[in-house]
Amino acid sequence: MITDKSFNYLVDQVYEVDKNKNSTPWKAGDELRKDSQTFRVLSAKDNTSNGMQAMAVAPVDKNGNVDYSHVVIAYAGTNRDDRLDIQTDIQSIGFGDRRMLSDSKTKTFRKSQFQTALSFAEEIEKTYPSAKITTAGHSLGESLAMYVALKRGYANIGYNGPDIHNLISKEEIKYMQEHPEQFRNYRHKYDFIGNIMGNTTQTAIYPYIYPAKDNWGDKLEYHNLSQWRFDENGQLVDL
């Protein structure tokens, strides 16, 4: 079983697919290790047109065998230095645009990160048709992951993802509200970024925060993956 802690690690590592951030980005065939779990990168995508980064990984057992029956597709969140990520935050999550304005003068558009995130998942599903697929992400990446999970019927787990209700239909909002077991979007209640779009889909999960830690502090810090805590089995615990 892939633990909450391993998902946290994977959605952190997918940021390293970005060639602008990492001179040696993750690629197919690379292996990622966290505690007792190892993962093989099956495919990695760095879309320079709209700024989407994603990778598909599968667990590797102690004998080096890849378990292709369970594939995780992890999506990267916002790179604050990437204007395309900022544009996606504003146009897609904020205003519900499924396309990104490429040139305001010519009124031309490019595919949004949500469109290419879905296309990447469809490619992985075709390559591994028997696999159980789980999407994962952090911040914008979790918004992408929830969107793909909704459209393709996958399970989802992620951290601090803004709500996607502006991007989906009323029927899809109702579906997400009625299937909390499919979407696990862990949020810190003081995370301004993760909570910016509210919780219309009712997918946010707020762990208990002990009184001694129940204060505002640095609002931006609460958005970081390092805020989360896990037990000895790798399961997320209250803060």
pLDDT tens per residue across span 70-126: 999 999 997 555 444 445 444 556 445 555 445 445 444 568 899 999 999 999 999
Per-residue DSSP letter, 191: -
In the prediction, which pLDDT does 108 show?
44
Give the predicted TM-score (pTM) of the model: 0.89
Per-10-residue mean pLDDT, the chain, length 239: 96 95 95 94 95 97 97 87 47 52 50 94 98 98 98 98 96 98 96 94 94 62 93 95
Residue 74 CA to residue 220 CA, distance in Å, equals: 22
Task: Give yes or no for a contact between 147 and 164, defined as CB atoms under 8 angstroms apart.
Answer: yes
Boundaries of every domain in the chain:
4-227
In the prediction, which pLDDT does 111 show?
83
In the prediction, which pLDDT does 79 show?
59
Query: H or E stretch including 45?
Result: strand 37-46
Residue 26 CA to residue 14 CA, distance in Å, equals: 8
- Long-range contacts of the stretch 35-41 (C-beta < 8 A, 24+): 35/5, 35/6, 35/234, 37/2, 37/3, 37/6, 39/6, 39/10, 39/72, 40/66
Q: Which tokens hold the place of 17?
A: 């697919």
Strand 183-186 and strand 204-205: pairing?
parallel
In the prediction, which pLDDT does 220 show?
74
End-to-end CA distance of the chain: 23
Q: State the CB neighbour count (10 A cutoff) for residue 75.
A: 33
Q: What is the CATH number of domain 4-227?
A: 3.40.50
Q: State the CB neighbour count (10 A cutoff) for residue 115.
A: 18
Nearest 5°: CA angle at 120, between 112 and 159? 75
Q: Which tokens hold the place of 205?
A: 């999960």
R_g of the chain computed on alpha carbons: 17
In the prediction, which pLDDT does 20 show?
87
In the prediction, which pLDDT does 94 show?
46
Q: State the CB neighbour count (10 A cutoff) for residue 220.
A: 10
